[in-house]
Each structure stands twice: as C-alpha cells, then as structure tokens.
Amino acid sequence: MFTELELTLALAAGILLTSGMLMWRGSASRNRIARRDPLRENEREQQKKSKSPEGLLHEMEVRLFDYGREVEGRVETTLNVLDRLIIDAESEIDRLEDLLNLSRADRVPENKAGSLDENSLARITELRQAGLADEEIARCLQCDVSLVRNYLDDGNQDRRAA
C-alpha cells in the first residue's frame, strides 16, 4: 500500500507537527506568565476578600487595632506632658516655700514683747470672727501668739463677767 518513501515522509511530517505543537505550547505558556501582573492579581484577591464577611471583619479589626494604638499614643503623650507639668509645679512650690520661709525669718516682729495697739486689737477681733486660729492671727499681726491669746482670754473673761 504505502511505499517506504511515503511512510518515511508521513513519519517525518508527524514528528515535525508534534515538535511544532510542543514548541508553540511552551512559548504560549511563557507568554502567559510574562503577561501576568502580580499587582493586579493581588488587588483582585483583596477585593474578593473585602467583599466577604470575614474580609470585612478582618478589615474592621485592623482599623480598630490601628485606632487603639493611635489613642494609646495620644494618651501616653498627654500623660508625659502632665507629669512634666507636675514636676515643674512641685519645683515652683518648693521655690516659693523657701522664699516664704526666708521672708519670715528676715522679718522681725514689731510687737514681739510689747503690747498691742488699738488697731491691732480691733484686727484680732475681726480675724477671729473670720475663723483664723491664734497662730494665724499672730502671723498676720507679726506678734507673739501669747499676746493674741491673752487678749482673747481677757475678752472672753469680760464677756463672762457681763
């Protein structure tokens, strides 16, 4: 039926056709890989995930976590500022207390051992009615506490006698 030459030609044509198809398939797959865009594929995957309930939940968790970190940072910054203000205020209080103690030590009471004048006696009554203690009144009038107490005791005795 077929001659040897025809059979050889048919076999060679089959081999050429098969090798051509294999080469075409290999180059087509290489072209397909080269045309692939990983960024676009990643974007498509993200869109698919974000449309699913699990994806939305995950996205909300991430947002909540980021917001929590931001709030925590703001609170920490505010606390640091407040701590610094407290330290500054305490140092200012210490400075003012030292200054007050120095001014009290430098001041010599005018009525240390003597008696009180009429103006001071009237002031003692006013300050006592305002609710000040004997020591506070003595500091205000720059006199001994004993003078203030003696005057107040004398005033109380006069009231009792009357």
Q: What is the pLDDT of residues 31-71, one digit of tens each?
A: 777 677 778 888 888 777 777 888 778 888 999 999 999 99
Domain range for 61? 45-107
Q: In this predicted model, what pLDDT tens digit does every residue of 67-125 receive, in sequence order?
A: 999 999 999 999 999 999 999 999 999 999 988 888 777 664 554 445 778 888 889 88
pTM of full prediction above 0.85: no
> Is the residue at 63 inside a domain?
yes
For residue 5, CA distances in Å to 2, 9, 10, 16, 19 come to 8, 6, 9, 16, 21
> Is the residue at 59 inside a domain?
yes
Query: Which position has the token pair 């909540």?
Result: 64
> Is the residue at 49 inside a domain?
yes
Residues 120 and 142 in one domain: yes
Contact 139, 123 (CB under 8 A): no
Residues 96 and 59 in one domain: yes
Contact 115, 147 (CB under 8 A): yes
Residues 71 and 116 in one domain: no
